[in-house]
Structure 1
């Protein structure tokens, strides 16, 4: 019998295969491959408004495609027999039947909302059953069990003692809430999955195929590969850069980790630490603007704010997160005298950028559009279109006989790209058609077309776990909306916070981490934010800061044992226990635990208004002060955890560093002054003790 973690690890290999070879070379595999392409083309057509359908039908069709792909692919990945595959296809077609029913009965369902007939109830039950089964197949038992408990609460919660009970709802009302309308499985999470998330996953898939991983890795190697512990620093920077386009921790681990983890081991890092560094840096991609992770889109939609507001709030915490990981690997390298790489074997960052500079253009356009107030859907569509044209255009440009013609070609393609903002989808389609035709007649052009085709299939495959998680977590949201259960738990947090805000934050953090041991970041955020977000708002925490607090710890929860998906994805690459990697990942991420707490007490850290400091000294002075304080607190906490600064720290120095870091975070009267004084004393004593230090480096093992 396999555990939930083993189930996740098996599916990770299948759905995040960077070679795109996850579809079996059989008749069934080829059929699934083309279904995945059809899924991606459907999503592109709806995003670009080529195909205009009602939102409810879009959501149902999206879930139908998820069911159609998920069951057969999982059965194929686990080598189920003929009977197992037959059951998988039966469940897949049941999911498609639900989508077809939503399409055919769209208007009648609206007219009889709240008064379902027998057929409606049957299809509603099938919808719930297939979504739960898909979640179990993809992610193990934890998330379906938690969602199932909420569903049982909606059905039978009236029998619980006060204050946990509710007034009671009949079966028909619960099915109506969960399987129809926009409050259950077709709620905000699946709407975001069917629009923004899928599009940005495709965007990342095309950029990876175009060579973005190589560009990021070569640039990182060139800049920091020669420094002390350079191999691990390359992992942090490359994974952070990849996070700007993928937003998926597991995808980052199994792509950049294939290169960085063996490199770190080669240069002396312990296998568990190498895996922990990669897992920590990769998970940070979910809070790394501009794309971030799926949760960021759900947060913007839930709070009713522009996406760039979420990006703005995430910028400084994301930079601090990666700075803390960079600092931790620097200290680890110093502690064990780990050398960097030889400059002779490192690529030139300028040469790498000259060769792949055009890959940055879609990312630049995406950032510009997001911060100019355009919707993520529009920005993602334009970014994806530019990426496809650049990939197609690269082969054509290389096939031209002279450099002059290549320059003229790139200028022309740039003018077409610029016209997107005025001409729109027509210019995109015409340019794509011309370039597809040209690729049929140039050297390497057919390979480029194959790469684009495979990117469509890979994007759909990568979106499956995210989409299914969004669907099943809709049951939790639907239960909270129907019964108001979140208010009961929120009141408990508020009651604690009235005596101590810190204890409320601590309770929220523990809730995120405990939930994160069994479920992905998306449902973790939705559950905890639904409960704690309003409660923290009542305690004076700005709404966006409270949600970012939950988001941040939801990410860190994916590094905590016993179920740490990113760490278990790194395990086969590092050839080390996923549990050991998880403990090392917590150590690498330890300094980052201070950032969300500091942001709550001083919202300026997330570029938000509010807080006593901003009122007292002004907004930008408060931002500068809190960033400097956060950097110092992270530095001290990292030194305390690793036990090294200029040389190994004595026990009392580690304790003093931890105490100073805690005082800088505490935000109580005189704690800042005491923390700065203790930090200054510690640094002065340590410098004096190591002033005549001579470092003897050892060769990499």
Structure 2
């Protein structure tokens, strides 16, 4: 039974939170913001389902207008600002809305006078830029606004820099036109993707969470691996990986699944820093796990002009290797410290969990099917979201029916309606949802279900805020690079380095991604680095998708690397440990993330791409099998070297030998594979001989929970 201490539970007075428990403030202002968030989500669903048809430019402007309207007051409320601060926040919010209204009213005239702005256009253009920059600063701190601001200053004053950094010069009106109007600045591809795919998939995840998907993932993970050696940490890896299939934020994964998994790991003997590192690594890895991939997959597909499933295909094997690596690392850590699993008696049955919650997998399965069948992500996401709503509303109605027979008939009928979208499209599901909304008004518990759906709409909009604001402000960077061609300068430098050493170019790109990723969300980090470094890697012969995946991976790993390490600092208060210590452990657990992108560059078959000397020599499929086996062996050896354990604790020279073998398997130079396999056989063989008579258990750990 819920009590006031539980998340989302109503208080006795009913005024400590909004009626939804969705995280909005108390009072009239909180209720207003809550309903604005609901309206925002409803608008996005209506445009996605083509119930409401608006031009693309208006959709983007309205999306940013809603972002501004919510962002400033919500941040001011969360900070407990006084009357002056709240008045300023609402003033900025209304200024952002005024820009959207101006874009709507002046839509056709703006098209006709493109490139020749009048004074009022300039004023609203400046207001648009100012509100977007301030919203980014309020929500995410100074890192992203400073970087975007530097690019904006470069567009305005770059002509005064020394060659080769200078450009020909652009007047103020031309820069404002580029940044605040059209589709090259703040209303560019990132905001378009945020206004369509990203928002829709965040809503999809919000509804699935509300329906109980987190509980299903956790119970299945506990049931399958909770009893194994180090089972508590293995549960974290699997549960966070599964969460990543529906979530768009690694940091959000940390603070949701981490609330359960980190204390569980500590209870069974894992060090606090290691427990936090495992959760941070697994949660960030969720962003490379198809089908959602932290929403970057949609931006990547849109940017490159390729089908979405091509991006997923390239990500699949590396994602599986990443989680296999994390799983292996926690297994070795558990062996080193003799950490046993949980008692089977206290674990849920995975089969029972699947029997009770199998229907929650249906929307995800349909989503994946549609995406791989050539449907657009927008259509697939709309169908997935609609089916989730059908399940939630339909389950409530079914529970209110008086007999089992009626419930069975009801579910069969609902299934027929849901399947009909193959013939008559989304309208069938929307009509069924409307009927179920009315039905829920009259059945027992139905109004609570409708309130939960309303909460999910508000929560989805609130969750989408930082992503949308980041997409808007990063558009300034894209606009500057499009206007000035600055990316060419950096790209030429990378290419010049790559002419003597491709490896050095890759390392330089990696460092750039990690530095830019400090304090910047994954999506803007990918957009920036792919725009700067992606073309250069392509010119060096790296396949298109592989080059973009390379910068994407290291943008994710930036959230694990010190000194910023956002995911690790999010785990710190749960683990009650220093974020820096957690970051150092996360880097060890995420070793595969640093290795796999380099291996894919030299052997594109790892990302299921054509090209590379290996595929030319032995064929595509044999090359895929070979590189997967080699990568798995390299990861296994690296894990043993880092943790210092295999069958038993490793002596110093065995760890060095394992590290050397792993490095040579990654290097992809002439004869390095042969040397790597030989060193691996030598290390594993002698370790087995040394430990076959007796296998020390390692230092004592927590064999059972205290």
CA distance in 2, matches of 1:425, 1:658: 54
Q: Is the 8 A contact 1:592 1:634 kept in 2?
A: no
Q: Is the 8 A contact 2:159 2:167 kept in 1?
A: yes
CA distance in 2, matches of 1:165, 1:38: 46
Q: Could you tell me which residue of structure 2 aligns to residue 581 of structure 1?
A: 582
Q: Is the 8 A contact 1:202 1:456 kept in 2?
A: yes
TM superposition shift of 1:572: 1.6
CA distance in 1, matches of 2:473, 2:593: 30
Moved more, 392-401 or 322-331: 392-401
Per-residue Cα deviation, 1:139-175 (whole angstroms, up to 9, x for no partner):
0001000000000000000000000000000000000
TM superposition shift of 1:695: 5.1
Q: Could you tell me which residue of structure 2 aligns to residue 289 of structure 1?
A: 290
Q: Could you tell me which residue of structure 1 aligns to residue 11 of structure 2?
A: none
- 1:251 matches 2:252: yes
Q: Could you tell me which residue of structure 2 aligns to residue 37 of structure 1?
A: 38
Q: Could you tell me which residue of structure 1 aligns to residue 374 of structure 2?
A: 373
CA distance in 1, matches of 2:329, 2:100: 49
CA distance in 2, matches of 1:30, 1:42: 18
Which residues of structure 2 form unaligned runs of 5+? 1-17
Q: Could you tell me which residue of structure 1 aligns to residue 558 of structure 2?
A: 557
Q: Could you tell me which residue of structure 2 aligns to residue 483 of structure 1?
A: 484
Which residues of structure 1 form unaligned runs of 5+? 1-16
Q: Could you tell me which residue of structure 2 aligns to residue 547 of structure 1?
A: 548
Per the normalisation by structure 1, the TM-score is 0.96
CA distance in 1, matches of 2:579, 2:66: 32
Q: Is the 8 A contact 1:591 1:635 kept in 2?
A: no
TM superposition shift of 1:374: 0.4
TM superposition shift of 1:694: 4.1
CA distance in 2, matches of 1:437, 1:233: 44
Give secondary structure in 2 for the equivalent of 1:295: helix
Q: Could you tell me which residue of structure 1 aligns to residue 165 of structure 2?
A: 164
CA distance in 1, matches of 2:696, 2:414: 54
CA distance in 2, matches of 1:183, 1:158: 21
TM superposition shift of 1:20: 4.7
Give secondary structure in 2 for the equivalent of 1:498: helix
TM superposition shift of 1:503: 0.6
- 1:522 matches 2:523: yes
CA distance in 2, matches of 1:400, 1:625: 56
Q: Is the 8 A contact 2:553 2:593 kept in 1?
A: no
Q: Is the 8 A contact 2:635 2:662 kept in 1?
A: yes
Q: Could you tell me which residue of structure 1 aligns to residue 703 of structure 2?
A: 699
- 1:459 matches 2:463: no
CA distance in 2, matches of 1:589, 1:612: 28
Moved more, 57-66 or 650-659: 650-659
CA distance in 2, matches of 1:413, 1:496: 60
Q: Is the 8 A contact 2:227 2:341 kept in 1?
A: yes
Per the normalisation by structure 2, the TM-score is 0.96
CA distance in 1, matches of 2:633, 2:552: 23
Give secondary structure in 1 for the equivalent of 2:184: coil
Superposition pairs of residues 436-455 of structure 1, within 5 angstroms: 436-455=437-456
CA distance in 2, matches of 1:617, 1:403: 59
Q: Is the 8 A contact 2:417 2:428 kept in 1?
A: yes
CA distance in 2, matches of 1:20, 1:206: 15
Moved more, 37-46 or 395-404: 395-404
Alignment root-mean-square deviation, CA = 1.2
CA distance in 1, matches of 2:523, 2:645: 36
Q: Is the 8 A contact 1:247 1:288 kept in 2?
A: no
CA distance in 2, matches of 1:641, 1:432: 53
CA distance in 1, matches of 2:376, 2:654: 50
Per-residue Cα deviation, 1:72-123 (whole angstroms, up to 9, x for no partner):
0000001011100000000000000000000000000000000000000000
Superposition pairs of residues 491-502 of structure 1, within 5 angstroms: 491-502=492-503
Q: Is the 8 A contact 1:238 1:256 kept in 2?
A: yes
Q: Is the 8 A contact 2:647 2:695 kept in 1?
A: no
Q: Is the 8 A contact 1:20 1:458 kept in 2?
A: no
- 1:139 matches 2:140: yes
Give secondary structure in 1 for the equivalent of 2:490: helix
